[in-house]
C-alpha cells in the first residue's frame, strides 16, 4: 500500500497522468495535458473555508429575503424559500413541496454542514471512518447541482407569468443570495481535497 505522493509522484488533476516529482522543475506542468501539477490541491482547506464561510453569510439573506413575489389582481405576495414550501404543503401539492423542501432547504444545509464537518475532521486530525467520509464528499459533489431547482422554477415563472394587471411574478433579492450560496458551495466542494483525509492515516501508519 503506497500513495502516489509517498512514491514521489504527481497525479495530474485533469488527465490523471503520473509524473516523477524529481524529474520536473519547481512549478511543473503536466507533460501530457499542460495542467499545473500539485501533490495536493493548492491551499485546499483555506480556500474551502473561505468559500464556505461566504456561503454561510449568503445563506442568511437567502432565507430572510423574498425569492419571488406573485402579484395577482393587484395584490403582491412576497415568498421566501421557506414560506413558498409551506404554502405548497398547505395547498396539497405534497410531492412538489417535498421535492422543493429537499432541493432548496435540505441540500444546501447538508452541503454546508457536511463540508464544515469534513474540514473540521482534517483540521483536528480525526481519523474516523475515512471511507465513509469520502462517500459523503462524493455525495456533496453530486447532489449540489440540484439546489439550482428553485432558481430555474423562478426563471420559468417569471418568463411565463407577465400579464400586467392580471398576474405577474417578479424575482426577489433572496433568489440572488440563494444562487450565490449554490455557486459558492459548489466551488467550496471543488476546493476541498479528499486525499487530505487519507494522508492522516498514511502518516500514522509506521
Partner 1 sequence: MEPATSSHGLDELVACHDCDLLHRREPLERGERARCSRCNAFLYRRPKDMLHRTLAYTAASLVLFLVANAFPFMEFKIAGRTQVGHMITGAAELWGEGYAFLSFMVIFTSVIAPLFMILCLGYLTAPLIMGWRPPGMITVNRLIGHIQPWSMMEVYMLGVIVSVIKLGQMADIVLGPAAWAFAGLMFTLTAAIAIYDSGVIWERLDADAGKHHAAKRDRRLTGEATS
Residues that bind partner 1 (CB under 8 A): 1-5, 7, 9, 11, 13-20, 32-35, 88, 91, 93, 96, 99-100, 130-131, 134-135, 137-138, 145-146, 148-149, 151-163, 166-167, 170-171, 175-176, 179-180, 183, 186, 194-195, 197-199
Which letter does DSSP use for residue 198 in this model? H
- Which of 187, 64, 184, 200 has the alpha carbon at shortest distance from 127? 200
Tell me whether residue 116 or residue 195 sits nearer to partner 1 (CB atom): 195
Q: How far is CA 99 from the centre of its chain?
A: 18
Q: In this complex, which beta carbon is closest to partner 1, that of residue 116 or of residue 134?
A: 134
The least distance separating partner 1 from the CB of residue 87, rounded to whole angstroms, comes to 10
Pick the closer one to partner 1 by CB: 16 or 120.
Answer: 16
35 versus 60: smaller Cβ distance to partner 1: 35
DSSP 35: P
CA of 198: how far to CAs of 121, 124, 190, 202, in Å?
Answer: 11, 14, 17, 6
Q: What are the CA-CA distances from residue 184 to residues 47, 55, 75, 78 (Å)?
A: 11, 6, 35, 25
Indicate the burial class of 12 (C-beta count within 10 angstroms; 0-12, 13-18, 19 or more): buried
Cβ distance 123 to 84 under 8 Å? Answer: no
Q: Strand, helix or coil at 94? A: helix
Q: Which one, 34 or 125, has the nearer CB to partner 1?
A: 34
Q: Measured from the CB of residue 117, what is the shortest distance to partner 1 in angstroms?
A: 17
Nearest CA to 49 out of 133, 129, 115, 99 is that of 115
Q: What is the nearest approach in angstroms of partner 1 to the Cβ of residue 158?
A: 5
CB of 88 to partner 1, least distance (A): 8
CB of 163 to partner 1, least distance (A): 6
Min. distance of Cβ 85 from partner 1 in angstroms?
A: 11
The set of cell numbers assigned to 69 is 413575489
Choice between 106 and 167, CB closer to partner 1: 167
Amino acid at each position: 500500500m503506497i500513495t502516489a505522493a509517498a512514491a514521489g509522484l504527481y497525479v495530474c488533476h485533469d488527465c490523471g497522468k503520473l509524473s516523477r516529482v524529481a524529474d520536473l522543475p519547481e512549478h511543473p506542468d503536466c507533460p501530457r495535458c499542460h495542467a499545473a501539477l500539485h501533490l495536493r490541491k493548492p491551499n485546499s482547506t483555506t480556500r474551502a473555508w473561505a468559500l464556505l464561510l461566504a456561503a454561510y453569510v449568503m445563506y442568511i439573506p437567502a432565507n430572510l429575503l423574498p425569492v419571488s413575489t406573485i402579484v395577482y389582481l393587484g395584490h403582491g405576495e412576497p415568498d421566501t424559500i421557506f414560506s413558498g414550501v409551506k404554502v405548497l404543503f398547505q395547498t396539497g401539492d405534497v410531492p412538489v413541496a417535498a421535492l422543493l423542501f429537499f432541493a432548496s432547504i435540505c441540500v444546501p444545509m447538508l452541503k454546508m454542514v457536511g463540508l464544515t464537518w469534513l474540514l473540521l475532521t482534517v483540521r483536528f486530525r480525526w481519523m474516523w471512518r475515512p471511507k465513509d467520509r469520502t462517500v459523503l464528499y462524493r455525495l456533496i459533489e453530486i447532489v449540489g447541482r440540484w439546489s439550482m431547482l428553485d432558481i430555474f422554477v423562478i426563471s420559468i415563472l417569471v418568463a411565463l407569468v407577465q400579464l400586467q394587471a392580471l398576474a405577474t411574478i417578479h424575482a426577489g433579492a433572496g433568489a440572488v443570495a440563494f444562487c450565490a450560496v449554490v455557486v459558492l458551495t459548489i466551488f467550496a466542494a471543488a476546493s476541498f481535497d479528499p486525499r487530505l483525509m487519507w494522508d492522516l492515516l498514511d502518516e500514522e501508519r509506521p
